[in-house]
Every structure is written in structure tokens, then in C-alpha cells.
Amino acid sequence: MVDFELYRIFKIVADEENLTKASEILHISQPAVTKHIKNLENELNVQLFNRSKYGMILNENGKKLYLQIKESINVLLKTEEIFNIHKEINLGVHVNMPSRIYNSAVLKYYEDHQNNIINIHQLTAENMFSMLEKQKIDVAFSKKYSDELYNPKQIKFVKIGDLHDVFIVNYNSQYLNKKLSKEDLRNTTIYTLKKFSSAYKNLIKELEYKENDTVNVENVNYTAMIELLKVRDIITVITKEYVEEKLANKELNILDVGFSLQNAEFGIYFNVNNNFKELKDLIKILKDNCKV
């Protein structure tokens, strides 16, 4: 039996002459691409490529095979496009987003699409938008970010719900016993995420910083904040849903400052050029089943 997928991978590697580029196009790892090529060579009992530091170059056997299958592969790929057949969806999820929020939606999708696969990629915001624009992922599940990070004409956001940015301290913080005013908070270094994050924007807005004020905020990543909370008595602003387990275990505490930060929207980003049925189904299921 002919394995169409092996020949499709062979053609892409031959076209790109580079395993890394081929793996990016195929959305599978470089070792997986290598394994598929080896399987095809074993099946045909010939070597198809000359492998060198310059890349993957077809040898005489490979050139003969390429000429034989090139047009057939193109026809089959075109057929998939015509009938809108997509067996795999690449879902990007922001690295800090708790899996419990989207797990039920993924399970629901599999109930209705038993022959499909969702590849989940854990990504930073910058990588997420870059991969969406290049169509290396089909859809992304994340908090809403400033559209400074992406092209809003190409990438659209669909809101699902709200997350909650709160002031967080460690379990024995001195600040738990103090009534802090907004002025006190402005005079205390507060740690939060990067400047394009909702946590940072909501904090600056709520503390009423003026245009020429010195902003007493340190921008660090989520992992660094969690580590700092273990060893230093600091005030942070973090999305509550990201640390619910630590709050439940009393490792961290929400600091009551007498006011609430604005909610942070979360939802789905997708490239408007991706319009196949399976993706539409997944987006609908994410909208209906992702709850905080």
C-alpha cells in the first residue's frame, strides 16, 4: 500500500533541501521528518538524498522518484484544498494559560472529529503572533494583547471570557497586615509582566500614573515573578487564574488593596486566511466550552 504522507514529506524535503525548513512547513519535528524519509528509503530499498552540511540534496535515485511523483502529489494536494480536507490543526496556547481552561474544549472536539489531530504548541506572545501570521499555527488561545504585536487586518480576536489580574504576595508578606493606598503602591516597586500585557496596562491605569511620572514597576516574565515571590517579600500583579493552585495551597495570597484591576479578556486569535471547516468547528467548540 502506498503511503501518501511519506511521498508528500519526501517532496517537501526535496523542494526545500533543508530539514529545518521542511519541518516548519510540515509542523512536525526535524527528527520526525528524518524518520519519515528513512522509512521511505527503507520501503524502496534505496537512498534518496545526499546528506551534507549544505542540506538534503537529491541523488540520482531521488531525482528519478521526484520526477515520477511530483505531479501526482500536486494533484492530491490540490484535491485536499478543493474539498477543504484538514486532518491536523495546530493550536497555539500562551505558555501561562492554564490547561484546565481549554482541555474540555479539546476533548469535545475529539468526540466530534475522531480522525483529526490537534497539535498543541506552548508559545510566548511574540512567537504566537509570528506563527499565526506565517500560518505555522492555525489558531491561538490566549489573553488579549495590544494590537501593536500583530497586524489586526490579518489576525482577528474573538473574545470568550475574562481573567482577573490581582495583586499577589507570598504567604508571610509584611504587606498583608497593611492598608495600602494608591500612593503607597506608587512608592513601592511592583513586579508584573511586559509592557504590552494587560496586567501592566491595567496597573498603570489604576494607579493613575501621569505622562511624566517615573513608573515604579519592574517588568519580568511569569516564571521570574514566581521565583522572586519564593525568596523576596515583593508585590506582584499576576492573573489570578494562573496561580489558583498556589493560592489554594496558601503558598501565595491575594493582597486586598481596596480596589480591583480591570478584567483581562481572553479568547481566540486566528489568521483570516485560514478558513477550513475543521478550524471553524474548533473555534466554535473553544467558544462554547472554555470557561474560567
CATH number of 4-82: 1.10.10.10
Q: What is the model's pLDDT at position 88? A: 83
pLDDT at 82: 47
Q: Which of 100, 147, 97 is nearest to 267 (CA)?
A: 97
Are the folds of 4-82 and 165-261 the same?
A: no
Order of all β-strands in the sheet with 217-219: 217-219, 190-192, 235-239, 165-170, 252-254
Q: What are the residue ranges spanned by the domains of the chain?
A: 4-82, 88-162+265-289, 165-261
The count of other CB atoms within 10 Å of the CB of residue 183 is 10
What confidence score (pLDDT) does residue 121 get? 92
Q: Which CATH superfamily is domain 165-261 in?
A: Periplasmic binding protein-like II (3.40.190.10)
Q: What is the DSSP string of 105-158?
A: HHHHHHHH-TT-EEEEEEE-HHHHHHHHHTTSSSEEEEE---GGGS-TTTEEEE
Lookup: cell for 268 = 481566540
Q: Which cell numbers hold the place of 122?
A: 506552548
Number of separate helices (H) and strands (E) present in the chain: 11, 12
Q: Which residues contact 60 (CB under 8 A, 6 or more apart)?
A: none
Q: Is the pTM of this model over 0.75?
A: no
pLDDT in tens, the chain (292 residues): 557 788 888 889 999 998 888 887 776 778 888 998 999 999 999 999 998 877 899 999 999 999 988 887 777 666 555 454 557 889 999 988 999 999 999 999 988 888 788 999 999 888 999 999 988 899 999 999 988 889 999 999 999 999 999 999 999 999 998 889 999 999 999 999 988 888 898 999 999 998 888 899 999 999 999 999 999 999 999 999 999 999 999 999 999 999 999 999 999 999 988 877 888 899 999 999 988 8
Q: Does domain 88-162+265-289 have CATH number 3.40.190.10?
A: yes
**Angle, vertex CA 74, rays to CA 72 and CA 79, nearest 5:** 95
| Per-residue confidence (pLDDT) for residue 107, from 0 to 100 | 92
Q: φ, ψ for residue 2 (rounded to 5)?
A: -80, 130
